[in-house]
Amino acid sequence: SGLGFNIVGGTDQQYVSNDSGIYVSWIKKDGAAYLDGRLQEGDKILAVNGKDLKDLRHKDAVELFMNAGYDVSLKIQRRLQPQNGPVGHQGDGESGGLPLAAILVPGLALAATAVWILLRYRQRM
């Protein structure tokens, strides 16, 4: 029933700007990759069974996966931050948390205001 995931990318179909790598775009529920649990949508696949995926056309990468056999070894690079595009489904659409800037900017503004008030108050004494 296959490996249970779809890929995007390749030299002829760059998914990420200036990167011809192969990326996991979708993992099939209850497929082999889903049941294994290690592969994630958005991961970059660097090699399949020791064969480097660098500088391959999309169809050639698909061919490697289709002929990978029963025991498949993937070398991946975990996605460190969200990419532009359809990769990175978060299930029900909920965000993974607040961005750091959403906490730091208001906090710094509040701290600067407090310092300004304190300095103005001290000048009046």
* 90 confidence band (pLDDT: 50, 70, 90): very low
pLDDT at position 113, please? 76
Count other Cβ atoms within 10 Å, centred on residue 83: 16
Residue-level length of the chain:
125
Convert 36-94 into a string of H (helix), E (strand) and C (coil). Answer: HCCCCCCCEEEEECCEECCCCCHHHHHHHHHCCCCCCCEEEECCCCCCCCCCCCCCCCC
Q: How far apart are CA 85 and CA 76, in angstroms?
A: 19
* 121 confidence band (pLDDT: 50, 70, 90): confident
Q: What are phi and psi of 60, to 5 degrees?
A: -70, -35
Residue 4, helix vs strand vs coil: coil
> How do residues 96-115 score in pLDDT, each as one tens digit?
455 665 666 666 677 777 77
pLDDT higher than threshold 50 for residue 91: no
Q: What percent of the chain has pLDDT over 90?
A: 50
Query: Where along the chain do its domains lie?
Result: 5-77
Residue 21, helix vs strand vs coil: coil
Q: How far apart are CA 39 and CA 4, in angstroms?
A: 10
> How do residues 8-46 score in pLDDT, each as one tens digit?
999 999 998 899 999 999 999 988 999 999 999 999 999
Percent helix, strand and coil across the chain, each to the nearest 5? 30, 20, 50
Q: What is the CATH number of domain 5-77?
A: 2.30.42.10
Q: Are 83 and 25 in contact (CB under 8 A)?
A: no
> How do residues 46-75 score in pLDDT, each as one tens digit?
999 999 999 999 999 999 999 998 889 999
